[in-house]
Amino acid sequence: EKSKPTHISPAWWQTQQQPLIELSNTHSPCYVYHLDTIKHQIDQLKSLTAIDRIFYASKANSHPQILNFMHQQQISLETVSPGEIERVLKSCKGIKAESMLFTPNFAPIHEYQDALDQGLFVTIDNPSLLYDNPEVFQNQEVILRLDPGHGSGHHRYVRTAGSHSKFGIPSSDIEQIAQWCKDHQVKVIGLHAHSGSGILDHSNWPRIAEYLGSCLSFFPTAKIVNVGGGLGIRENPGDMGLDLQALNNALLTFKKSNPSIELWMEPGRFLVAHSGVLMAKVTQTKWKSSHGYIGIETGMNSLIRPALYGAWHNIVNLSRLNQDAEYTATVVGPMCESGDVLGVDRKMPRTSVGDTILIANTGAYGAVMASNYNLREPAKEFVI
Ligand code: LLP
């Protein structure tokens, strides 16, 4: 509704309590995504004047309407698989290949070949891929993904740099790869690095820019510096978020000393996480000694982040928003795994079977990581 807050916050879903409960009454479990919230996040990133081009990392949420919305908002699209490329092409009518970036990892050579044939920007992150397939890359333009040496992020599984990470070209290989590219007429048009996901320290991206900038002398044809994604979000209204102003200022300093460089960024989570909620009905409640459990209609098959990374998502009883917390309960799904937990020891109001539980900030890496484990269908998706 027009008069309501424009982006998701506790205030947003509180104001939408009734329509959301009604939707969950007929379609539990379900994800709901809110496009105005995505717009709010896009506008925040667009205010970073240092960034010349934003690619949305479609792996975070590849719902066709969300991809299309990004395209409508002049956001380019980053993809990591033929499936994502196909989804983007289908969802974003009229999208040009040069608005798409292909950044796979350990993918078969034919995927690179296809992406180059289609005219996408292609990022390479393994010297052997080039050395083993000169016929594919000769006379082509590529972006090289370098390993900045140090990964960051909310969990070790999402840190993507350093010697124990499978991603990126180590600094020790740079000179050789530069020479090989020159010898084989492979034009390196840009350098890229992505150090991890869920990062709240704004100095991460200026540091990456500095590192890539220091490598530019090896690649005289490179005009693009892509500092990756990984921008973290506030899980709760009271949390500290990223300092976007400080981030912009530091990147502007980088641009001042590298005036001919085009600066790219490829965020996923930042653009979509806040836009989504997962709703599911309470199936059963249980007491074991003094421990309370609230069971809901879906679990790790719809949202694996708590099980996989110990990720924390705000969980509320949407049917009883105005009631005080009365007890502590662990919110669980119906899967046959002890790890099928969505939130541990949460303060909850007295909760009954049939109540709607809402799990917040699930617009990123929710539905895209869902599975049919136990042959339970994961949550359906709706866009409003
Ligand atoms: N660019 C590259 C090369 C990436 O690998 C990723 C994410 C991104 C951009 C976007 O990162 P973001 O801005 O969304 O943090 N499943 C995990 C996150 C894995 C991220 C994988 N790569 C989670 O649920 O936290």
**Average pLDDT for 100-114:** 98
Q: Measured between alpha carbons, how far is 325 from 257 in angstroms, rounded to an integer?
A: 54
- CA of residue 228 to ligand 1 center, whole Å: 9
pLDDT band at 21 (very low <50, low <70, confident <90, very high): very high
Is residue 240 located within the same domain as residue 135? yes
pLDDT score recorded for residue 8: 44
pLDDT above 70 (res 12)? no
Query: Residue 206 belongs to a domain with what CATH number?
Result: 3.20.20.10
Tell me: pLDDT of 3 over 70. no
Between 8-12, 45-49, 134-138, 314-318, the lowest mean confidence (pLDDT) is in 8-12
**Domain check: are 289 and 263 in the same one?**
no
Out of 163-172, 238-247, 266-275, 326-335, pick the least confident: 238-247
Cβ–ligand 1 distance for 268 under 6 Å, the answer yes
pLDDT value for 4: 44
Asked whether the predicted pLDDT for residue 330 surpasses 50, the reply is yes
Assigned domain for 47 exists: no
Per-residue pLDDT averaged across 171-183, rounded?
Answer: 98
Q: Is the CB of 194 under 6 A from ligand 1?
A: yes
Residues 231 and 334 in one domain: no
Q: What values do phi and psi take at 233, rounded to 5?
A: -125, 165
Among 219, 250, 267, give the residue marking a domain's end: 267
Nearest to 198 by CA among 345, 305, 340: 305
Query: Which ligand 1 atom sits nearest the alpha carbon of residue 123?
Result: 3
> Is 37 a domain residue?
no
Across 2-6, 89-93, 184-188, 276-280, least confident range: 2-6
Which atom of ligand 1 is nearest the CA belonging to 158?
Answer: 19
**259 & 279 share domain:** no
Domain boundary, last residue among 199, 234, 267: 267
For the ranges 17-26, 37-46, 108-117, the maximum mean pLDDT occurs at 108-117
Shared-domain flag, residues 263 and 277: no
Cβ contacts of 92 within 8 Å, gap of 6 or more:
67, 68, 70, 71, 77
Phi first, then psi: give them for residue 147, nearest 5 degrees.
Answer: -90, 115
The reply to whether 277 and 256 lie within a common domain is no
Examine the domain organization and report whether 217 and 311 are in the same domain: no
Question: Do 25 and 145 have their domain in common?
Answer: no
Residues 225 and 289 in one domain: no
Q: What is the pLDDT of residues 270-286, one digit of tens each?
A: 999 999 999 999 999 99
- CATH at 21: 2.40.37.10
**pLDDT the model gives residue 237:** 65
180 within some domain: yes
Q: Confidence band (pLDDT; 50, 70, 90) for 176?
A: very high
Pairing relationship of beta strands 380-383 and 187-192 according to DSSP bridges: unpaired
| Structure token digits, residue 280 | 């599911």
- Residue 356 inside a domain? The answer is yes
Separation of alpha carbons 192 and 197, rounded Å = 15
Task: Give the model confidence (pLDDT) of 139-156 as tens digits.
Answer: 999 999 999 999 999 999
Is the beta carbon of 269 within 6 A of some atom in ligand 1? yes
Is the pLDDT at 2 greater than 50, yes or no? no
Q: Are residues 220 and 297 in the same domain?
A: no
Q: What is the mean pLDDT of residues 169-197?
A: 98
Find out whether the beta carbon of 313 lies less than 6 Å from any atom of ligand 1: no
Please identify, by atom number, the ligand 1 atom nearest to the C-alpha of residue 199: 15
Residue 51 lies in a domain: no
Decide: 125 in ligand 1 pocket, CB within 6 A.
Answer: no
C-alpha 314 to ligand 1 mean position (Å): 21
Band (5; pLDDT cuts 50, 70, 90): very low
Average pLDDT over residues 94-103: 97
Mean pLDDT, all residues of the chain: 94
- Expressed in angstroms and rounded, the spacing between residue 153 Cα and the centre of ligand 1 is 10
Nearest CA to ligand 1 atom 22: 197
Work out the pLDDT band at 10, boundaries 50, 70, 90.
Answer: very low
Residue-wise pLDDT for 337-384, tens only, equals: 999 999 999 999 999 999 999 999 999 999 999 999 999 999 999 999
263, two tokens: 């600066």
Instruction: Tell whether 314 is covered by a domain.
Output: yes
Q: The pTM is what? A: 0.96
User: 1: CA distance to ligand 1 center in Å?
Assistant: 32
Do 118 and 234 sit in the same domain of this protein? yes
In a domain, residue 57? The reply is: no
Q: Into how many domains does the chain fold?
A: 2
The pLDDT of residue 9 is: 52
Query: Which pLDDT value is given to residue 212?
Result: 98
Which of the listed residues 199, 232, 267 is the one where a domain comes to its end? 267
Q: Using the predicted structure, report yes or no on whether residue 239 has a pLDDT greater than 80.
A: no
- Expressed in angstroms and rounded, the spacing between residue 222 Cα and the centre of ligand 1 is 24
Quick check: is 55 in a domain? no
Please choose, from the candidates 271, 359, 234, 224, the residue with its C-alpha nearest in 3D space to the C-alpha of residue 59.
271
- What's the pLDDT score for residue 73? 98
Q: Is there a single domain that holds both residue 85 and residue 175?
A: yes
Q: With b meaning 16 or more CB within 10 Å and e meaning fewer, what string describes 94-110?
A: ebeeebbbbbbeebeee
Domain that holds residue 85: 62-267
At residue 6, the pLDDT reads 46
Stretch 234-255: mean pLDDT, rounded?
90
333 close to ligand 1 (CB < 6 Angstrom): no
pLDDT at residue 38 above 60?
A: yes
φ, ψ at 335 (rounded to 5°): -85, 155
Q: Could you report the per-residue pLDDT of 286-300, keeping only the tens digit for each? A: 999 989 999 999 999
User: Which percentage of the chain shows pLDDT scores above 70?
Assistant: 96
The catalytic site residues sit at: 336
